[in-house]
Amino acid sequence: MKRFYDEVVDVVKAGLRALRIETPSWAFGNSGTRFKVFAQKGVPRDPYEKIADAAQVHRFTGAAPTVALHIPWDRVDSYGDLSHHAREHGVAIGAINSNVFQDDDYMLGSVTNPDPAVRRKALRHLLECVDIMDATGSDVLKLWFSDGTNYPGQDDIRDRQDRLAEALDAVYARLGEGQRLVLEYKLFEPAFYVTDVPDWGTAYAHCLRLGRKAQVVVDTGHHAPGTNIEFIVAFLLREGKLGGFDFNSRFYADDDLMVGAADPFQLFRIMYEVIRADGLDQDVAFMLDQCHNIEPKIPGQIRSVMNVQEATAKALLVDREALAAAQRAGDVLGANGVFMDAYNTDVRPLLAGFREESGLAPNPMAAYAASGYAERIVAERVGGHQAGWGA
Ligand code: LRH
Ligand code: MN
């Protein structure tokens, strides 16, 4: 392992340089569960402050240069001005996330709603998000539909798919040059019987039908327990249909905990399939989609970026030649051993060195804590309305 390690260090560093992780604006606002949203001091009051906080994640990790927006949570008068503000803070605006899950009209669905007037309203919002992409220079429209039913017979499963396809066609047709849509699936919640885009197969089928500008988003928390997510990743990459990732982790359902916190080995296996498919050089939007309900939000995002960097460095350390030879030879334990050697390698010293070579502090968490930024925003952000999921 030692000989291989010395040889491959530069390959690992090259991979880490290519790794870009988008932070979600909504992770910096208050979030919680239906039981309670705990307000934290210093939380942003508007998209400008959210972007300033996201810029801290990039400042200390060097790996989070873009921030995803969620509309209407991040609605502003001038998206051009917001983009300028982002650039001033050394970041850029990334994916635009639509939201057709918080309006009373969408109780029985948005683009799949039995009522054509509600479907038209939902479509107008999706098209407005493309207008915002034009204004921010974003090339990714991220679509997640909470649409579904709670009781058998409540609505016709096939009719809802027809309505969904009709809306996706209209959005796809509106996409400009260089723009693409990424469709996110989720097994359940808030719907508890049928979710209209419940799994990767449904999302993949719709994207295949739409065309090359449509790809699938894999959100770690959106699968049934026990789902082999790295298989889905390997399959979608093989098809050129993995458009993005919503990184987080969970012990039970869509817990939206810090990526790698609940299952660092799963994250390693996922990143290995990404590396194996040269996914770092493809247009896969790696995004965090998390809620820091009880922990400080900016450090939570910094820790999350570090967790993805650690998993990626370990995945890049897999001795691919030795692995392929063992696999070809049917050497089950040998192959598994090569894989586990990489996973069991402590890459933290390598990452600290990589950060220093990149002009960054070796320990981003300690550097952020020492920056005084956390204390400053608590002192400055008094009054006003703290941001959250309620807009
Ligand atoms: C849905 C989801 C989706 C976002 C939302 C914030 O659960 O994962 O990606 O729109 O969280
Ligand atoms: Mn998500």
| pLDDT tens-digit map of 8-20 | 899 999 999 999 9
Q: How far is the CA of 28 from the centre of ligand 2 (A)?
A: 15
User: Model confidence at 175, in pLDDT bands (50, 70, 90)?
Assistant: very high
Task: Evaluate if residue 227 carries a pLDDT over 60.
Answer: yes
Q: How far is the CA of 360 from the centre of ligand 2 (A)?
A: 29
Cβ(65)–Cβ(113) under 8 Å? no
Q: Report, as an integer, the average pLDDT of 172-185.
A: 98
The pLDDT value recorded for residue 7 is 77
User: Among 289, 290, 292, 293, which is best to mutate for testing ligand 1, by the most ligand atoms less than 8 A from CB?
Assistant: 289
C-beta of 256 in contact with ligand 1 (< 6 A): no
Q: Which residue has the tokens 């007037």?
A: 117
241, amino acid identity: K
Coil vs helix vs strand at 249: strand
The pLDDT value recorded for residue 6 is 72
User: What percent of the chain is predicted at pLDDT more than 90?
Assistant: 96
Mean pLDDT across the chain: 97
Which ligand sits closest to the CA of 388? Answer: 1
User: Model confidence at 389, in pLDDT bands (50, 70, 90)?
Assistant: confident
What does the longest C-alpha to C-alpha distance in the chain come to? 66
Coil vs helix vs strand at 342: helix
Q: Which atom of ligand 1 sits closest to the CA of residue 221? A: 8
Which ligand sits closest to the CA of 68? Answer: 1
C-beta of 22 in contact with ligand 1 (< 6 A): no
Q: Which atom of ligand 1 sits closest to the CA of residue 98? A: 10
User: Model confidence at 182, in pLDDT bands (50, 70, 90)?
Assistant: very high
What is the rounded distance in angstroms from the CA atom of residue 204 to the CA atom of residue 221? 18
Q: Say if strands 242-247 and 214-219 run parallel, antiparallel, or are unpaired.
A: parallel
Task: Evaluate if residue 4 carries a pLDDT over 80.
Answer: no
Q: Report, as an integer, the average pLDDT of 68-76.
A: 98
C-beta of 146 in contact with ligand 1 (< 6 A): no
Is the entire prediction scored with pTM above 0.75?
yes
Q: Which residue has the tokens 């919002």?
A: 125
User: Model confidence at 1, in pLDDT bands (50, 70, 90)?
Assistant: low
**Considering only CA atoms, which residue is closest to atom 4 of ligand 1?**
144
The pLDDT value recorded for residue 282 is 87
Class of residue 174 by CB neighbours under 10 A (exposed 0-12, middle 13-18, buried 19+): middle
C-beta of 186 in contact with ligand 1 (< 6 A): yes
Q: Report, as an integer, the average pLDDT of 373-380.
A: 98
DSSP 22: B
Cβ(198)–Cβ(219) under 8 Å? no
Q: How far is the CA of 66 from the centre of ligand 1 (A)?
A: 17
The pLDDT value recorded for residue 178 is 96
C-beta of 248 in contact with ligand 1 (< 6 A): no
C-beta of 74 in contact with ligand 1 (< 6 A): no
**Considering only CA atoms, which residue is closest to atom 6 of ligand 1?**
289
The pLDDT value recorded for residue 2 is 59
User: Model confidence at 385, in pLDDT bands (50, 70, 90)?
Assistant: very high
The pLDDT value recorded for residue 3 is 57
